[in-house]
Chain A
């Protein structure tokens, strides 16, 4: 283990390490803690210039109440859900299939198709922007959740295929061979042999894609507009226009917008980290 395990060192070192941890953590999260403080302050604090002192009066969740009941925030949150969930499902379906095809079979185009997915996954969004927008308009899906979901599913398939294919490669191939010897159809092998083994990968992928899509801003502003379709990342700019210079509300709004992926992360932490590293590190 590196660095030297702390428990092998002197008592003094151990104590100072334990003491240092929270200090470093607070410094690391300082910008975020500041926003949390803002979000529970009353408006009068900002008028009187009391930015960093203790709140004048404790507002508790009053600011959050305002965010939920006096703005379009709930609508935007709901849109984010309507965009994120179908995307996650679509990606899982498509990439489990492509991953299976590329991970199990040997055929000439295999590596080329795989590289196509990998390369496409890295291209800058801007080179897709004009044609994808046109395509979406032509399909009559501009400013619809559907149009945005379709693009997200397509684009994320690149990353998901990379992930799934590498995962399937690491599975014991003997299982598949054994099934073949039994004369089981290929699609049944996919369904009954490989898919059950992919559960951890699918879980990891679901959390990752959820986070990516929830946090997407660029495509949201290119393909949608207004509170009927836009997700919360785009909504927050609109929210900020409504409450410009109302820091207490803007910060409460920001925290609300950030909460779902954070919750997802804490609930599915194991899968999340597994996903980040397993999918990426071959």
Chain B
């Protein structure tokens, strides 16, 4: 089965990548290292391949096999391969999203790695990797969410970044009056609608309520949740979202903004690389924090953390641990998260955030302007099955807002089953 991405010495070192010396040559590893990765978009893929290459240079005796699987397909395959044919290292997500695999005993407890130095360097994300006091993997990146918008369009209509819900809607009306949709979105894979719900709910009812809802402690059919949907509906009724969003992936929805048919996009910072590739430079692309809705509620933010884990069925656990250490090392973190690579935030406190407009803004926002709390993301905070049902409901709501009663009843019914387990 194995064709091998062998990192040869002669391999061309990509421009801009300088060899990192972090913990190198402590002891050279040998044997095999099998990695399954979901970093299938062009930029993350290059990063993953780069890491394998550099790790391979540090350990020339090590035989590294990297398999990159489509990010959406990976979600449906992970259980399959963790149980059937486990690699040594696998990508996944932090917090609740990893809970089922931890409970099923499929992810290796790596608390020993976290003792000492690592806990200090990775203090900010340690919580997201911890279940019952133990750590089950390491993070490699995190990123802010927010509203990415066409700066030039905003200037053209004499608008400014909104800070309140009224301003947000007023701006939107101006765009609509000029024949431009306010928001592009592609809900074919559902999770993009989850982002909208996260923000609307956190801004309407606060982070704590949102956390309780995703944890199954609140009812879906409640006044508070209905208030969230009512706010959402205001935008839907205005016609703020692009048409036919249910047929697009998030990538396929991008051209609407690139071509100026839509003004903004509620997205994660990973989209910046794709926007830039599409031709939007910093004079045309900007970012603002999702505005306040209910006055006085401390703002919560989505900042999903992406991770590496060692499956319990791994055959080369020592090599895997060395790779994980390499991934989180300060130098590697600085490198892979810079604007030319992932364009996201490093998890290691000793790393430096690349001098990039969006990274600086995002880092500042998460550090200073998210007093409510940091959420992972809807489909990582809610149990996977609940998330699937709920996000399907969100999509239905965006298309048929009148179905709300039915949707909420359905979600509550599903919740009874799912949280009972």
Do A and B come from the same complex? yes
* B11 beta carbon closer than 8 Å to chain A: no
Closest to B255 in A: A245
Considering only residues 79-111 of chain B, those with a C-beta below 8 Å from chain A are: 80-81, 83-85
Query: B67 touching A226 by the CB < 8 A rule?
Result: yes
Query: A225 touching B77 by the CB < 8 A rule?
Result: yes
Query: B70 touching A228 by the CB < 8 A rule?
Result: no
Report Cα–Cα, A47/B256, bound state, in Å. Answer: 11
Contact of A244 among B36, B67, B69, B252 (CB under 8 A): B252
Report Cα–Cα, A242/B251, bound state, in Å. Answer: 11
* B132 beta carbon closer than 8 Å to chain A: no
Query: B83 touching A228 by the CB < 8 A rule?
Result: no
CB distance from B183 to the nearest CB of A (A): 18
Query: B70 touching A241 by the CB < 8 A rule?
Result: yes
Query: A228 touching B1 by the CB < 8 A rule?
Result: yes
* B73 beta carbon closer than 8 Å to chain A: yes
Report Cα–Cα, A5/B84, bound state, in Å. Answer: 61
Considering only residues 233-265 of chain B, those with a C-beta below 8 Å from chain A are: 249, 251-252, 254-255
CB distance from B128 to the nearest CB of A (A): 26
Query: A244 touching B1 by the CB < 8 A rule?
Result: no
Query: B84 touching A245 by the CB < 8 A rule?
Result: no
Report Cα–Cα, A232/B68, bound state, in Å. Answer: 15
Considering only residues 42-88 of chain B, those with a C-beta below 8 Å from chain A are: 42, 45, 67-73, 77, 80-81, 83-85
Given contacts A142-B84, A143-B84, A226-B36, contact A245 B69 (CB under 8 A): no
A222-243 Cβ-contact flags toward B at 8 Å (1 or 0): 0001111100000001101110
* B18 beta carbon closer than 8 Å to chain A: no
CB distance from B273 to the nearest CB of A (A): 13
* B27 beta carbon closer than 8 Å to chain A: no
Report Cα–Cα, A150/B254, bound state, in Å. Answer: 44
* B3 beta carbon closer than 8 Å to chain A: yes
Considering only residues 233-282 of chain A, those with a C-beta below 8 Å from chain B are: 237-238, 240-242, 244-245
Considering only residues 153-192 of chain A, those with a C-beta below 8 Å from chain B are: none
Closest to B4 in A: A228
* B205 beta carbon closer than 8 Å to chain A: no
* A137 beta carbon closer than 8 Å to chain B: yes
Contact of A75 among B3, B70, B84 (CB under 8 A): B3
* A145 beta carbon closer than 8 Å to chain B: yes
CB distance from A11 to the nearest CB of B (A): 50
* A215 beta carbon closer than 8 Å to chain B: no
Given contacts A237-B70, A242-B42, A245-B252, contact A229 B83 (CB under 8 A): no
Contact of B1 among A47, A133, A143 (CB under 8 A): A143
Q: Which residues of A contact B85 (CB under 8 A)?
A: 137, 142-143, 225
Query: B42 touching A225 by the CB < 8 A rule?
Result: no
Q: Which residues of A contact B2 (CB under 8 A)?
A: 228
Q: Which residues of A contact B42 (CB under 8 A)?
A: 242
Query: A241 touching B73 by the CB < 8 A rule?
Result: yes
Query: A245 touching B251 by the CB < 8 A rule?
Result: yes
A118-149 Cβ-contact flags toward B at 8 Å (1 or 0): 00000000000000010011000011110000
B382-397 Cβ-contact flags toward A at 8 Å (1 or 0): 0000000000000000
CB distance from A82 to the nearest CB of B (A): 10
Report Cα–Cα, A133/B41, bound state, in Å. Answer: 29
Q: How many chain-B residues does the 8 Å CB contact rule pick out? A: 26
Q: Which residues of A contact B77 (CB under 8 A)?
A: 221, 225
Report Cα–Cα, A228/B5, bound state, in Å. Answer: 11
Contact of B69 among A75, A133, A238 (CB under 8 A): A238
Closest to A78 in B: B3
Query: A229 touching B1 by the CB < 8 A rule?
Result: yes
Contact of B40 among A47, A228, A241 (CB under 8 A): A241
Q: Which residues of A contact B84 (CB under 8 A)?
A: 133, 136-137, 142-143
Interface size class of A (residues with CB under 8 A): 20 to 34
Contact of A145 among B1, B69, B73 (CB under 8 A): B1
Which of A144, A237, A238, A245 has the most chain B CB within a 10 Å cutoff?
A245
Q: Which residues of B contact A245 (CB under 8 A)?
A: 249, 251-252, 254-255
Considering only residues 81-138 of chain A, those with a C-beta below 8 Å from chain B are: 133, 136-137
Query: A244 touching B80 by the CB < 8 A rule?
Result: no
Closest to B248 in A: A245
Query: A237 touching B81 by the CB < 8 A rule?
Result: no
B262-290 Cβ-contact flags toward A at 8 Å (1 or 0): 00000000000000000000000000000
Q: Which residues of A contact B41 (CB under 8 A)?
A: 241-242
Closest to B77 in A: A225
Report Cα–Cα, A5/B36, bound state, in Å. Answer: 62
Query: A226 touching B69 by the CB < 8 A rule?
Result: yes
Q: Which residues of A contact B36 (CB under 8 A)?
A: 226
Query: A144 touching B251 by the CB < 8 A rule?
Result: no
Query: A242 touching B252 by the CB < 8 A rule?
Result: no
Q: Which residues of A contact B45 (CB under 8 A)?
A: 242
Q: Which residues of B contact A133 (CB under 8 A)?
A: 84
Q: Which residues of B contact A225 (CB under 8 A)?
A: 67, 69, 77, 80-81, 85
Q: Which residues of A contact B83 (CB under 8 A)?
A: 137
Report Cα–Cα, A245/B67, bound state, in Å. Answer: 23
Report Cα–Cα, A152/B365, bound state, in Å. Answer: 55
Closest to A242 in B: B40
Report Cα–Cα, A133/B85, bound state, in Å. Answer: 12
Query: B67 touching A241 by the CB < 8 A rule?
Result: no
Report Cα–Cα, A143/B34, bound state, in Å. Answer: 14
Report Cα–Cα, A47/B40, bound state, in Å. Answer: 23
Contact of B73 among A75, A228, A238 (CB under 8 A): A238
Query: B251 touching A244 by the CB < 8 A rule?
Result: yes
Report Cα–Cα, A142/B252, bound state, in Å. Answer: 34
Report Cα–Cα, A226/B40, bound state, in Å. Answer: 11
Report Cα–Cα, A242/B49, bound state, in Å. Answer: 14
Which of B40, B85, B255 has the most chain A CB within a 10 Å cutoff?
B85
Report Cα–Cα, A225/B1, bound state, in Å. Answer: 10
Instruction: Apart from A241-B40, A241-B70, A244-B249, list 8 A-B contacts with CB within 8 A.
Output: A75-B3, A137-B83, A143-B84, A226-B36, A227-B68, A241-B41, A242-B45, A245-B252
- Enumerate chain B interface residues (CB-CB to A < 8 A): 1-3, 36, 40-42, 45, 67-73, 77, 80-81, 83-85, 249, 251-252, 254-255
- 15 sampled A-B residue pairs with Cβ under 8 A: A133-B84, A136-B84, A142-B84, A143-B84, A145-B1, A226-B67, A228-B1, A228-B67, A238-B73, A241-B40, A241-B41, A242-B40, A245-B249, A245-B252, A245-B254
In the A-B complex, the 3 residue pairs with the smallest Cβ-Cβ separation, listed nearest first, are A241-B70, A142-B84, A226-B67
